[in-house]
Amino acid sequence: MNNVLIRPAILSEQKALEALQLRASLSNAGDREALLANPDAIELPLAQIAAGRVFVAERDGAIVGFAAVLPRNDRETELDGLFVEPNTWREGVGKMLAEYCAGVARAQGSAALCVVGNPHAQGFYMACGFKLIGTVETRFGAGLSLRKML
């Protein structure tokens, strides 16, 4: 995809990114009610931005998606959220962010990038080279445990 820039988020973007996360998450059919009943589920900690772990995708000066990566206690890295503006879905932004985060994890010496994915996103993660390794219970039902070897 052309003219998409990926860069670290800055602190002042926290609320805009949380709003984007909410719009993206509400667009997953079936998740709407649980999400509206639990608004605290949408939270992007400032500390993650301050630590340089949040990356935004920007196109023509507008933020169209973001993702966060977190270190783990093993030699792997957690993809802690990946959200794309719904009117930009299926234009390759999500894949660019996933590949960027894989590159960050690889550069930090991680052997794999792991994610607990929403079942709605399974096709996306498989297309990005993740393998399904199981399911995990989350606050909102079953999540998919996926891993991409680096």
Catalog residues that contact ligand COA under the rule CB under 6 A.
Answer: 24-25, 27-28, 82-84, 89-95, 117-118, 120-121, 123-124, 127
**Nearest residue (CB) to ligand COA, 89 versus 100:** 89
**Nearest residue (CB) to ligand COA, 28 versus 145:** 28
What's the DSSP call for residue 40?
Answer: G
In the complex, minimum distance from the CB of residue 134 to ligand COA, in angstroms, rounded to a whole number: 15
**Nearest residue (CB) to ligand COA, 81 versus 109:** 81
- Given a contact cutoff of 8 angstroms between Cβ atoms, the answer to whether 55 and 66 are in contact is yes
Name which of 9, 42, 45, 37 is nearest 23 in CA terms.
42
In the complex, minimum distance from the CB of residue 115 to ligand COA, in angstroms, rounded to a whole number: 6
Strands (E), the chain: 4-8, 54-59, 62-71, 76-84, 112-117, 131-138, 141-149
**Nearest residue (CB) to ligand COA, 55 versus 117:** 117
